[in-house]
A and B are shown apart, each in its own frame.
Chain A
Amino acid sequence: MEIIKRAIAGTLESSDAYVEIEPNARGIRCELESVVEQQFGDNIRGLVEEILADCGVENAKIHIIDRGALECVIRARVEAAVMRGKGE
């Protein structure tokens, strides 16, 4: 499953996450900005990698600005960005 174009999902509002995804030549490159990065940064990155794997994405650059989103919200925003990035 390839990301063929840059795509965005989510917002910068409280409890949401802003996710930007774009094609990458090899592997997953994840950049995270979060107020809880020190405590939960590794967990969020792990979650993002898990969602991308569930979606069958092997190569992508993904940038997330987390505004205190719960796991299910991050999951939804990453799924939406992937779907849009695939051109669906």
Chain B
Amino acid sequence: MRRSMLFIPGNTPNLLINGGFLGADALIFDLEDAVSPDEKDAARILVRNIMKFMDLRGCETIVRINSIDTDYWKADLEQILPQKPRWIMLPKTGCAADVLTADAEISRLEQRLGMEPNTVRLMPLIETALGVENAFAIASASKRVGAIFLGAEDLTADLRCKRTKGGAEIDYARSRMVMAARAAEVDVYDTPFTDVSDDEGIRADAEYAKSLGFTGKASISPRHVGVINEVFSPSRKDIEYAYEVMDAIRQAHEQGRGAIALHGKMIDAPIVARARQTIAMAEEMGVGKAVQHEES
């Protein structure tokens, strides 16, 4: 379950050591934009030590390395891969060849470190017009890609338009990213909402992203994590309905019935698939069985 992903600057100890207490499902240790060029070396050493010695309380670790057009990305991978991060986020991914370049270097290091192939997954960060247009090719370039992530700040700079709270300027990119990710059968994450003090704005933005089909959303502030988790979690009503669907399916099988109806509506394969996803998520959140028990 990865509803929220929180960016943590890679050279800031007080944020790095507290990352596990901030409620996010995943932490993005940032070696790219949050770190000045003369501190890249110190940041990658710090992140490596944090990953090695700190208890991150079950948070998934994602490390945003520097892009492959810089001199830093190979050194980032050299330092970080021995700590077996779950994900490497690859910024400014513009085409499938970028994915394959990073994939080859990660494969080389996995082999050298005696790790199983594809232990470390890739999450391309798509933040250019070229990247958006190539989203499906990027998402399907390698088995290592498990998700794609939209970065709207760089994208709007590339589009030469203003980034607004309403987000009309990224509507096409959002839809295109979701379509590409689902076609490639990978997860898809929405860009952060950058006004840290706008509590209504973050909720509306997260709800809109969820309505489009995003798996979750990134954040640059711990303050947004709770809202994102709430929006991307199934509601109690959703969970109850999912259990009802699965009960109806079970009963129909026991009675040898083919067509199944619930509350006057036909239950077809997509509804069952969604119910299974909802139950899996509810159980991962630790609320599934409680709801099922109360319902029965």
Do A and B originate from a single complex?
yes
CB-defined contacts of B46 to chain A, threshold 8 Å: 73, 76-77, 80
Q: Which of A10, A16, A70, A84 has the most CB of B within 10 A?
A: A70
* Contact present for B14 and A14 (CB under 8 Å): yes
Give the A-B pair count, Cβ closer than 8 A: 47
Total count of chain A residues near the partner, CB < 8 A: 18
Which of B49-57, B102-110, B265-273 sits within the interface?
A: B49-57
Residue B212 is within 8 A (CB to CB) of chain A in the complex: no
Of residues 8 through 53 on chain B, the ones whose CB sits less than 8 Å from some CB of chain A are 12-14, 17, 41-42, 45-46, 48-50, 52-53
* Nearest CB on A from B228, distance (A): 26
* Contact present for B13 and A80 (CB under 8 Å): no
Given contacts A75-B49, A76-B48, A76-B49, contact A70 B42 (CB under 8 A): no
CB-defined contacts of B50 to chain A, threshold 8 Å: 72-73, 76
Q: Which residue in chain B gives the minimum CB-CB distance to A8?
A: B42
Residue A60 is within 8 A (CB to CB) of chain B in the complex: no
* Contact present for A83 and B13 (CB under 8 Å): no
Residue A43 is within 8 A (CB to CB) of chain B in the complex: no
* Contact present for A15 and B41 (CB under 8 Å): no
Residue A21 is within 8 A (CB to CB) of chain B in the complex: no
* Contact present for B45 and A71 (CB under 8 Å): no
Residue A13 is within 8 A (CB to CB) of chain B in the complex: yes
CB-defined contacts of B17 to chain A, threshold 8 Å: 15, 70, 72-73
Of residues 13 through 45 on chain A, the ones whose CB sits less than 8 Å from some CB of chain B are 13-16
* Contact present for B13 and A9 (CB under 8 Å): no
Q: Which residue in chain B gives the minimum CB-CB distance to A84?
A: B41
Residue A65 is within 8 A (CB to CB) of chain B in the complex: no
* Nearest CB on B from A6, distance (A): 16
4 smallest beta-carbon distances between A and B, as pairs: A15-B14, A72-B53, A80-B42, A76-B49
In the complex, given contacts A72-B53, A73-B17, A84-B41, what are 4 additional A-B residue pairs having Cβ atoms less than 8 angstroms apart? A14-B14, A70-B53, A72-B17, A75-B49
